[in-house]
Amino acid sequence: SQQGEEDPQALSIQEGENATMNCSYKTSINNLQWYRQNSGRGLVHLILIRSNEREKHSGRLRVTLDTSKKSSSLLITASRAADTASYFCATDTSLGGDKLIFGTGTRLQVFP
């Protein structure tokens, strides 16, 4: 079962533009994570935001979390061609357990 749904499924932008990806989930969570996957490679952890946090920054990344809407967004500012990848959100559930449930991902293409 997949908890997270990313939107849009695919996004194409020019270098220097900002990219925003959204994630919606179904059940209450303790935390939400964002990962990046380059083509044919494993996932790389980007950022974790807890349910009592509303916003978190890491370099050019900004993540927001709205637990009332069960949604999160990932903003990449001043994008670069090297940001081209798929981005996934992953959630736990407040029901407990130690598993992550991954969304379907957003494919980001940044053109030079």
Taken in order 17, 6, 50, 55, is the CA torsion positive or negative?
A: positive
Q: How many DSSP H helices and E strands does the chain contain? A: 0, 11
Shortest distance in whole angstroms from residue 89 CB to another protein: 9
| CB of 46 vs another protein, minimal distance in Å | 9
Q: Tell me: does residue 14 bind another protein (CB under 8 A).
A: no
Query: Which residues, in sequence order, are CB contacts of 98 under 8 Å at separation 6+?
Result: 92
The answer to whether the peptide bond before residue 112 is cis (omega within 30 degrees of 0) is: no
Closest to another protein by CB, 50 vs 80, is 50
Write out the binding residues for another protein, residues 67-106 only, by CB under 8 A.
88, 90, 92, 97-105
- The residues binding another protein (CB under 8 A) are 1-2, 4, 30-31, 33, 35, 40-45, 48, 50, 88, 90, 92, 97-105
